[in-house]
Copies of this chain bind each other. A is one copy, B any other.
Amino acid sequence: MGDLLVVGSVALDSVKTPFGQATEALGGSATYFSFAASFFTTVRLVATVGEDFPGEHLALLKNRSVDLSGLQVSHGKTFRWVGEYGYDLNEARTLDTQLNVFADFKPSLPAPLRRTPFVFLANIDPELQLDVLRQMERPRLVALDTMNFWIDGRRQALLKAVAEVDVLLVNDAEARQLAREPNLIKAARTILGFGPRAVVVKRGEYGTLMVSDDHFFFVPAYPLESVFDPTGAGDSFAGGFMGYLAKRDDVGADAIRRAIVYGSVMASFAVEDFSLNRLVRLRPEEIRQRYEAFQDLVRFELEP
Protein backbone atom coordinates (compact mmCIF):
# COMPACT_ATOMS: atom_id res chain seq x y z
CA MET A 1 0.00 0.00 0.00
CA GLY A 2 1.02 3.62 -0.29
CA ASP A 3 2.22 2.69 -3.73
CA LEU A 4 0.46 5.20 -5.97
CA LEU A 5 1.47 8.79 -6.49
CA VAL A 6 -0.39 11.57 -8.31
CA VAL A 7 0.78 15.03 -9.30
CA GLY A 8 -1.92 17.45 -10.38
CA SER A 9 -4.30 20.13 -9.26
CA VAL A 10 -6.49 20.62 -6.22
CA ALA A 11 -9.08 23.27 -6.95
CA LEU A 12 -12.31 24.93 -5.99
CA ASP A 13 -14.78 24.48 -8.85
CA SER A 14 -17.94 26.40 -9.62
CA VAL A 15 -19.92 24.37 -12.11
CA LYS A 16 -23.32 24.82 -13.73
CA THR A 17 -25.10 22.11 -15.71
CA PRO A 18 -28.71 21.92 -16.95
CA PHE A 19 -29.40 19.86 -13.82
CA GLY A 20 -28.07 22.17 -11.12
CA GLN A 21 -24.94 23.88 -9.90
CA ALA A 22 -22.15 23.83 -7.33
CA THR A 23 -20.18 26.82 -6.03
CA GLU A 24 -16.55 26.65 -4.89
CA ALA A 25 -16.88 22.92 -4.45
CA LEU A 26 -13.92 20.59 -4.02
CA GLY A 27 -12.39 19.77 -7.41
CA GLY A 28 -9.12 19.41 -9.31
CA SER A 29 -7.53 16.52 -11.19
CA ALA A 30 -5.44 15.22 -8.28
CA THR A 31 -8.45 15.38 -5.97
CA TYR A 32 -10.78 13.28 -8.16
CA PHE A 33 -7.92 10.92 -8.91
CA SER A 34 -6.92 10.41 -5.27
CA PHE A 35 -10.43 9.97 -4.05
CA ALA A 36 -11.30 7.38 -6.70
CA ALA A 37 -7.99 5.54 -6.28
CA SER A 38 -8.36 5.51 -2.48
CA PHE A 39 -10.95 2.72 -2.84
CA PHE A 40 -8.15 0.48 -4.13
CA THR A 41 -4.90 1.56 -2.46
CA THR A 42 -3.21 4.32 -0.48
CA VAL A 43 -2.49 7.37 -2.59
CA ARG A 44 0.18 10.03 -2.23
CA LEU A 45 -1.07 13.36 -3.47
CA VAL A 46 1.37 16.00 -4.76
CA ALA A 47 -0.25 19.38 -5.38
CA THR A 48 -0.56 22.88 -4.01
CA VAL A 49 -3.38 24.79 -2.33
CA GLY A 50 -3.66 28.30 -0.91
CA GLU A 51 -4.09 29.31 2.69
CA ASP A 52 -7.81 29.70 2.04
CA PHE A 53 -8.30 25.99 1.33
CA PRO A 54 -11.06 24.69 3.62
CA GLY A 55 -9.90 22.26 6.29
CA GLU A 56 -13.01 20.13 5.76
CA HIS A 57 -11.74 19.23 2.28
CA LEU A 58 -8.41 18.10 3.72
CA ALA A 59 -10.30 16.04 6.29
CA LEU A 60 -12.25 14.36 3.50
CA LEU A 61 -9.04 13.24 1.80
CA LYS A 62 -7.44 12.20 5.10
CA ASN A 63 -10.49 10.09 5.90
CA ARG A 64 -9.74 8.16 2.72
CA SER A 65 -6.15 7.66 3.97
CA VAL A 66 -4.75 9.86 1.20
CA ASP A 67 -1.13 10.74 2.08
CA LEU A 68 -0.95 14.55 2.04
CA SER A 69 2.78 14.86 2.84
CA GLY A 70 3.31 16.12 -0.73
CA LEU A 71 0.56 18.75 -0.57
CA GLN A 72 2.08 22.23 -0.33
CA VAL A 73 0.07 24.93 1.39
CA SER A 74 1.32 28.09 -0.33
CA HIS A 75 0.92 31.76 0.45
CA GLY A 76 -2.07 32.94 -1.58
CA LYS A 77 -5.36 31.63 -2.86
CA THR A 78 -6.33 28.18 -4.13
CA PHE A 79 -6.77 27.49 -7.87
CA ARG A 80 -10.34 28.24 -8.95
CA TRP A 81 -12.22 27.11 -12.06
CA VAL A 82 -15.64 28.26 -13.23
CA GLY A 83 -17.35 26.35 -16.02
CA GLU A 84 -20.65 25.23 -17.43
CA TYR A 85 -22.09 22.44 -19.56
CA GLY A 86 -25.05 22.44 -21.96
CA TYR A 87 -27.35 19.49 -22.58
CA ASP A 88 -24.53 17.96 -24.57
CA LEU A 89 -22.49 17.12 -21.51
CA ASN A 90 -19.46 16.08 -23.56
CA GLU A 91 -17.70 19.44 -23.41
CA ALA A 92 -17.25 22.07 -20.70
CA ARG A 93 -17.26 25.79 -21.44
CA THR A 94 -14.69 27.51 -19.22
CA LEU A 95 -16.01 30.84 -17.92
CA ASP A 96 -13.10 31.72 -15.64
CA THR A 97 -9.77 30.29 -14.53
CA GLN A 98 -7.84 31.75 -11.59
CA LEU A 99 -4.57 29.84 -11.31
CA ASN A 100 -3.55 31.62 -8.06
CA VAL A 101 -0.96 29.48 -6.17
CA PHE A 102 -1.10 26.90 -8.98
CA ALA A 103 0.69 29.37 -11.30
CA ASP A 104 3.91 28.93 -9.30
CA PHE A 105 3.51 25.21 -8.64
CA LYS A 106 6.90 23.49 -8.68
CA PRO A 107 6.39 19.91 -7.56
CA SER A 108 9.18 18.92 -5.18
CA LEU A 109 8.75 15.38 -3.95
CA PRO A 110 9.64 14.50 -0.35
CA ALA A 111 12.27 11.72 -0.40
CA PRO A 112 9.95 8.90 0.76
CA LEU A 113 7.61 9.60 -2.17
CA ARG A 114 10.29 9.23 -4.86
CA ARG A 115 10.22 5.46 -4.84
CA THR A 116 6.48 5.10 -5.38
CA PRO A 117 6.06 2.39 -8.05
CA PHE A 118 2.85 3.64 -9.72
CA VAL A 119 2.70 7.26 -10.86
CA PHE A 120 -0.04 9.36 -12.45
CA LEU A 121 0.92 12.64 -14.05
CA ALA A 122 -2.39 14.49 -14.24
CA ASN A 123 -3.04 17.21 -16.79
CA ILE A 124 -0.44 19.91 -15.97
CA ASP A 125 2.37 21.65 -17.89
CA PRO A 126 4.47 18.88 -19.51
CA GLU A 127 7.62 20.61 -18.22
CA LEU A 128 6.37 19.91 -14.69
CA GLN A 129 5.46 16.35 -15.67
CA LEU A 130 9.05 15.87 -16.89
CA ASP A 131 10.36 17.44 -13.72
CA VAL A 132 8.41 14.95 -11.61
CA LEU A 133 9.63 12.04 -13.75
CA ARG A 134 13.24 13.13 -13.10
CA GLN A 135 12.59 12.97 -9.36
CA MET A 136 11.12 9.46 -9.42
CA GLU A 137 13.32 6.42 -8.85
CA ARG A 138 12.51 3.66 -11.33
CA PRO A 139 8.71 3.65 -11.15
CA ARG A 140 7.02 0.49 -12.35
CA LEU A 141 4.28 2.15 -14.38
CA VAL A 142 3.68 5.80 -15.25
CA ALA A 143 0.52 7.16 -16.87
CA LEU A 144 0.11 10.67 -18.23
CA ASP A 145 -2.93 12.81 -19.00
CA THR A 146 -2.80 15.98 -21.08
CA MET A 147 -5.05 18.38 -23.05
CA ASN A 148 -5.29 20.44 -26.24
CA PHE A 149 -3.70 23.47 -24.54
CA TRP A 150 -0.41 21.63 -23.97
CA ILE A 151 -0.51 19.68 -27.24
CA ASP A 152 -0.71 23.01 -29.02
CA GLY A 153 1.54 25.15 -26.84
CA ARG A 154 4.12 22.76 -25.36
CA ARG A 155 4.38 20.10 -28.06
CA GLN A 156 8.11 19.38 -27.76
CA ALA A 157 8.09 19.04 -23.95
CA LEU A 158 4.95 16.95 -24.17
CA LEU A 159 6.44 14.56 -26.76
CA LYS A 160 9.47 14.19 -24.49
CA ALA A 161 7.24 13.32 -21.53
CA VAL A 162 5.04 10.97 -23.62
CA ALA A 163 8.19 9.10 -24.73
CA GLU A 164 8.98 8.33 -21.10
CA VAL A 165 5.62 7.05 -19.89
CA ASP A 166 3.89 3.68 -20.21
CA VAL A 167 0.29 4.76 -20.69
CA LEU A 168 -1.14 7.90 -22.27
CA LEU A 169 -4.70 8.93 -21.37
CA VAL A 170 -6.38 11.32 -23.83
CA ASN A 171 -9.77 11.98 -25.40
CA ASP A 172 -10.35 11.39 -29.13
CA ALA A 173 -9.81 14.98 -30.22
CA GLU A 174 -6.55 15.12 -28.25
CA ALA A 175 -5.36 11.83 -29.76
CA ARG A 176 -6.05 13.15 -33.26
CA GLN A 177 -4.38 16.48 -32.46
CA LEU A 178 -1.29 14.90 -30.93
CA ALA A 179 -0.85 12.45 -33.82
CA ARG A 180 -1.95 14.96 -36.49
CA GLU A 181 -4.09 12.20 -38.01
CA PRO A 182 -7.91 12.21 -38.37
CA ASN A 183 -8.49 8.44 -38.16
CA LEU A 184 -8.54 7.53 -34.47
CA ILE A 185 -7.01 4.07 -34.87
CA LYS A 186 -4.17 5.38 -37.01
CA ALA A 187 -3.72 8.25 -34.54
CA ALA A 188 -3.40 5.83 -31.64
CA ARG A 189 -0.81 3.78 -33.56
CA THR A 190 1.16 6.94 -34.33
CA ILE A 191 1.18 7.80 -30.62
CA LEU A 192 2.41 4.29 -29.76
CA GLY A 193 5.32 5.16 -32.03
CA PHE A 194 6.11 8.09 -29.72
CA GLY A 195 6.91 5.65 -26.92
CA PRO A 196 4.05 4.57 -24.64
CA ARG A 197 3.01 0.94 -24.39
CA ALA A 198 -0.70 1.77 -24.48
CA VAL A 199 -2.97 4.65 -25.42
CA VAL A 200 -6.26 4.89 -23.54
CA VAL A 201 -8.74 7.02 -25.48
CA LYS A 202 -11.55 8.37 -23.32
CA ARG A 203 -14.66 9.09 -25.39
CA GLY A 204 -17.06 10.32 -22.71
CA GLU A 205 -20.54 8.87 -23.15
CA TYR A 206 -19.15 6.67 -25.94
CA GLY A 207 -16.81 4.69 -23.72
CA THR A 208 -13.09 4.01 -23.70
CA LEU A 209 -10.83 2.42 -26.31
CA MET A 210 -7.38 1.09 -25.43
CA VAL A 211 -4.88 0.57 -28.21
CA SER A 212 -1.60 -1.25 -27.59
CA ASP A 213 0.96 -2.79 -29.93
CA ASP A 214 -0.87 -6.06 -30.25
CA HIS A 215 -4.49 -5.51 -29.38
CA PHE A 216 -7.54 -3.33 -28.87
CA PHE A 217 -9.83 -3.28 -25.85
CA PHE A 218 -13.12 -1.45 -25.59
CA VAL A 219 -15.34 -0.63 -22.61
CA PRO A 220 -18.63 1.26 -23.10
CA ALA A 221 -19.73 4.04 -20.79
CA TYR A 222 -22.17 2.76 -18.20
CA PRO A 223 -25.73 3.52 -19.42
CA LEU A 224 -26.92 6.18 -16.98
CA GLU A 225 -30.34 7.76 -16.98
CA SER A 226 -29.06 10.81 -15.13
CA VAL A 227 -25.67 12.46 -15.58
CA PHE A 228 -25.49 15.50 -13.32
CA ASP A 229 -21.95 16.77 -13.77
CA PRO A 230 -19.21 15.27 -15.97
CA THR A 231 -16.46 17.28 -14.22
CA GLY A 232 -13.79 14.94 -12.92
CA ALA A 233 -14.94 11.92 -14.94
CA GLY A 234 -11.56 11.52 -16.67
CA ASP A 235 -9.58 11.85 -13.44
CA SER A 236 -11.90 9.47 -11.60
CA PHE A 237 -11.35 7.05 -14.48
CA ALA A 238 -7.60 7.43 -14.07
CA GLY A 239 -7.98 6.91 -10.31
CA GLY A 240 -9.83 3.63 -10.73
CA PHE A 241 -7.43 2.52 -13.47
CA MET A 242 -4.20 3.26 -11.60
CA GLY A 243 -5.65 2.36 -8.20
CA TYR A 244 -6.50 -1.12 -9.40
CA LEU A 245 -3.09 -1.70 -11.03
CA ALA A 246 -1.29 -0.48 -7.90
CA LYS A 247 -3.45 -2.65 -5.66
CA ARG A 248 -2.76 -5.77 -7.75
CA ASP A 249 0.85 -4.70 -8.41
CA ASP A 250 0.30 -6.08 -11.90
CA VAL A 251 0.97 -4.41 -15.25
CA GLY A 252 0.08 -7.39 -17.48
CA ALA A 253 -2.36 -7.10 -20.37
CA ASP A 254 -5.27 -8.75 -18.52
CA ALA A 255 -4.79 -6.56 -15.45
CA ILE A 256 -4.81 -3.49 -17.70
CA ARG A 257 -8.16 -4.61 -19.17
CA ARG A 258 -9.65 -5.01 -15.70
CA ALA A 259 -8.15 -1.67 -14.66
CA ILE A 260 -9.88 0.06 -17.59
CA VAL A 261 -13.18 -1.42 -16.43
CA TYR A 262 -12.56 -0.22 -12.86
CA GLY A 263 -11.72 3.20 -14.32
CA SER A 264 -15.04 3.18 -16.18
CA VAL A 265 -16.82 2.17 -12.98
CA MET A 266 -15.35 5.08 -11.00
CA ALA A 267 -16.08 7.57 -13.78
CA SER A 268 -19.69 6.36 -13.96
CA PHE A 269 -20.14 7.10 -10.26
CA ALA A 270 -18.35 10.47 -10.38
CA VAL A 271 -20.81 11.93 -12.90
CA GLU A 272 -23.88 10.97 -10.87
CA ASP A 273 -23.56 14.06 -8.67
CA PHE A 274 -21.71 17.37 -8.40
CA SER A 275 -18.13 17.63 -7.13
CA LEU A 276 -17.02 14.48 -5.29
CA ASN A 277 -20.44 14.03 -3.68
CA ARG A 278 -21.22 10.64 -5.20
CA LEU A 279 -17.73 9.30 -4.51
CA VAL A 280 -17.97 10.49 -0.90
CA ARG A 281 -21.05 8.36 -0.30
CA LEU A 282 -19.82 5.43 -2.40
CA ARG A 283 -19.68 2.01 -0.75
CA PRO A 284 -17.03 -0.54 -1.87
CA GLU A 285 -19.68 -3.17 -2.65
CA GLU A 286 -21.23 -0.75 -5.17
CA ILE A 287 -17.93 -0.76 -7.07
CA ARG A 288 -17.98 -4.54 -7.28
CA GLN A 289 -21.63 -4.59 -8.35
CA ARG A 290 -21.08 -2.09 -11.14
CA TYR A 291 -17.98 -3.96 -12.30
CA GLU A 292 -20.16 -7.04 -12.68
CA ALA A 293 -22.82 -4.96 -14.45
CA PHE A 294 -20.15 -3.90 -16.96
CA GLN A 295 -19.43 -7.54 -17.63
CA ASP A 296 -23.11 -8.24 -18.21
CA LEU A 297 -23.27 -5.22 -20.52
CA VAL A 298 -20.80 -6.66 -23.03
CA ARG A 299 -20.93 -10.43 -22.59
CA PHE A 300 -21.86 -12.70 -25.46
CA GLU A 301 -20.98 -16.27 -26.24
CA LEU A 302 -19.39 -17.98 -29.16
CA GLU A 303 -22.04 -20.04 -30.91
CA PRO A 304 -23.22 -23.15 -29.11
Q: How many residues of A contact B (CB 8 A)?
A: 40
Residues from chain B with a CB closer than 8 A to the CB of A302 are 291-292, 295
Are A206 and B209 in touch, CB under 8 angstroms? no
Residues from chain B with a CB closer than 8 A to the CB of A220 are 207, 209, 218, 220
A115 at the interface (CB under 8 A from B): no
A182 at the interface (CB under 8 A from B): yes
Chain B residue nearest to A222 (CB atoms) is B216
Chain B residue nearest to A292 (CB atoms) is B302
Chain B residue nearest to A225 (CB atoms) is B185
Give 1 or 0 for each of A199-211: 1 = CB within 8 Å of chain B CB. Answer: 0000101110101
Q: Nearest-CB distance from A273 to chain B (Å)?
A: 16
Are A225 and B298 in touch, CB under 8 angstroms? no
Stretch at the interface among A42-50, A105-113, A253-261: A253-261
A interface residues with partner B (beta carbon < 8 Å):
87, 182-186, 189, 203, 205-207, 209, 211, 215-220, 223-227, 254, 257-258, 260-261, 291-292, 295-303
**Contacts beyond the supplied A207-B218, A219-B300, A257-B301: 19 A-B pairs with Cβ under 8 Å:** A87-B182, A183-B226, A185-B223, A185-B224, A203-B206, A215-B296, A216-B223, A216-B297, A217-B297, A217-B298, A217-B300, A218-B220, A219-B298, A220-B220, A254-B300, A254-B301, A257-B300, A261-B300, A291-B302
